[in-house]
Structure 1
Amino acid sequence: MDRAALEDYAARYGDQSLAPAVVLIAAYNEEESLGEVLDGIPAYSCGLDVDKLVVVDGATDDTAKVALKHGAQTCVVPTNRGQGAALRLGYHLAAERGARYIVTTDADGQYDIAELPKLLRPLIDDRADFVTGSRRLGSNERPALIRRVGTYVFAWLVTALTGQHITDTSFGFRGMRAEVPNSVTLEQPQYQSSELLVGVLSRGYRVLEQPMRMLPRTAGVSKKGGSFRYGYRYARVVLGTWWRERRNTNRSIRKNLTTNITA
């Protein structure tokens, strides 16, 4: 799937490089809201040119046409595989095409693109490797009670597991050095936000949270499913990622000890 999508992208854009900063969106059936989101992304921020990159995740509507019409570099995957798979492809493509910084946002208009400098500036100033927004430090308009409680619970869980204080584990408006997501093990098709965050924290990258706004969805419907099912699956990903990273770290330690003893 990735190979077919990349070949189609190369046929459309040739060997064209991307700007130093890329705003990446994984979009599935978001024709109603995507255009407005893309139009709000500036062409220039914090002294850097900014490109828009949309990975269309097997959409059955006109999401791809909307992305192209509104000036986004567009990579079309023929089959829907989930946001995680689409973002992994986008991370790879952005880094391969020369981006230094990658910012992720959603196609539904729930993040305020005017806050883009809050993500880019700490990266440019080398104060962080990974910057994420936090609705708890900022604001969240009309949150459902169960989702608000879940935000606190998962923040506590990730903080307890990693030893680093986190207030919001699933905020989708994030900035990172381009090599960071490509150096972390990412496998989840859907609940990728926690997998990436736990992976980044476990590998010692400098993580910074910034206060940001969470807005109501402008159109369409959420694809996360029911709150209890979402919470269960999200918890499983958090715990599974933490255990995988801890196991890999222990293996590396044992390997290094063995190498040193042999030497």
Structure 2
Amino acid sequence: MSTTFPDEVDRAALDGFAERYGDRRFASVVVLIAAYDEQDALGAVLDGMPAESCGLDVDTLVVVDGATDDTAEVALRHGALTCVAPRNRGQGAALRLGYRLAAERGARYLVTTDADGQYDIAELPELLQPLIDDEADFVTGSRTLGRTESTDLVRRAGTHVFAWLVSALTRQKITDTSFGFRAMKIEVPNSVRLEQRQYQSSELLVGVLARGYRVLEKPMTMLVRAAGQSKKGGNLLYGYSYAKVVLGTWLRERRSAPQPQDRPAAERISEPAAAVPER
């Protein structure tokens, strides 16, 4: 699916944000949450957000993806910077909007997490410090290296299957392709072609690997959802859609991504490093 930024929904959301916050600049670190109908879980997630991490100030940005409940009101009440899209489009579109907004307003590092409480924000420094130390450009958690509380055997098996597939396609060792708790330098998501409106986690990861960014995995914890229901559909639909995105992104990037020697010198990154699991 081809997308253009900003479309009319993005423009309406950005105009509303500017009306609420003026020209407010962001902290060095922005924790970005895309939220759709998460009024019951979001408040507790926001209350756990730190004001600083690794010696840097932290802002929390919630992009409300056309919610039909009080998600936006909860975000505002709990102190998050809140950008409201007037129409639901999917997590990928909401995150893409957040990536651009954070870059435009001065963030240096971007962290993504979910509104449902499945990730442990106490593990944030483990994601952030390798970026600050310039050991990586993109750091992602891994439930395979860490642990998961999920009892869904199909989803757990799928995690291993898709990790194998992405590792085989990109020739870089990856143990978890869909962990939503990630940190990255601000230029990374804004330099990767992102089209998916829903199943975007693999699109971003495959794009980042294809473009030679340094990717690092860290052992992390996958908790059970605090409240509400997943918006990703049943296991069969999720697996089919996810596989389609993985293969489609890989084929697209294989055709279009420039090789390191073809990039301007200022844009080159040292030879791609394999994702290095650390315990």
Q: TM above 0.5, one fold?
A: yes
Give 1:21's aligned residue.
Answer: 29
Matches of 2:29 and 2:189, distance apart in 1: 15
Match for 2:101 among 69, 93, 99? Answer: 93
1:55 maps to amino acid: V
SS across alignment from 2:201: helix
Give 2:207's aligned residue.
Answer: 199
Match for 1:188 among 162, 183, 196? Answer: 196
- Note the residue ranges of structure 2 that are not aligned, 5 or more in a row: 1-8, 265-279
Give the superposition deviation at 1:168.
0.1
SS across alignment from 2:98: helix
Give the superposition deviation at 1:228.
1.0
Give 2:131's aligned residue.
Answer: 123
Give 1:221's aligned residue.
Answer: 229
Matches of 1:75 and 1:68, distance apart in 2: 10
Matches of 1:213 and 1:249, distance apart in 2: 33
Matches of 1:241 and 1:251, distance apart in 2: 16
Match for 1:103 among 98, 111, 127? Answer: 111
Matches of 1:253 and 1:122, distance apart in 2: 26
Matches of 1:106 and 1:121, distance apart in 2: 20
Give the superposition deviation at 1:255.
11
Give 2:252's aligned residue.
Answer: 244
1:212 aligns with 2:227: no
1:68 maps to amino acid: L
Matches of 1:250 and 1:2, distance apart in 2: 28
Tell me, yes or no, if the aligned pair for 2:212 and 2:260 is still in contact at 8 Å.
Answer: no
SS across alignment from 2:194: coil
Matches of 1:230 and 1:60, distance apart in 2: 23
Go from structure 1 to structure 2 and tell me whether the alpha carbon gap of 1:40 and 1:248 turns closer, same or farther (over 3 Å shift): same
Count of matched residue positions in the alignment of Structure 1 and Structure 2: 256
- Note the residue ranges of structure 1 that are not aligned, 5 or more in a row: 257-263
1:69 aligns with 2:47: no
Give 1:259's aligned residue.
Answer: none
Give the superposition deviation at 1:142.
2.8
Matches of 2:141 and 2:121, distance apart in 1: 12
Give 1:261's aligned residue.
Answer: none
Give the superposition deviation at 1:251.
9.5
Identity %: 74
SS across alignment from 1:136: strand
Match for 2:167 among 131, 153, 159? Answer: 159
Give 2:20's aligned residue.
Answer: 12
Go from structure 1 to structure 2 and tell me whether the alpha carbon gap of 1:160 and 1:69 turns closer, same or farther (over 3 Å shift): same
Offset from partner CA, 1:104-127 (integer Å, 9 cap, x none): 000000000000001110000000
Question: Which structure features the higher share of helix residues?
Answer: 1
SS across alignment from 1:208: strand
Could you state the TM-score of these two structures normalised by the residue count of structure 1? 0.95
SS across alignment from 1:89: helix
Matches of 1:188 and 1:255, distance apart in 2: 25
Which stretches of structure 1, 4 residues or more, deviate above 4 A after TM superposition?
Answer: 250-256
Matches of 1:187 and 1:26, distance apart in 2: 16
Tell me, yes or no, if the aligned pair for 2:211 and 2:258 is still in contact at 8 Å.
Answer: no
Larger radius of gyration: 1
Could you state the TM-score of these two structures normalised by the residue count of structure 2? 0.90
Offset from partner CA, 1:104-161 (integer Å, 9 cap, x none): 0000000000000011100000000000000000000133110011000000000000
Q: CA RMSD in A?
A: 1.6
SS across alignment from 1:211: strand
Give 2:275's aligned residue.
Answer: none
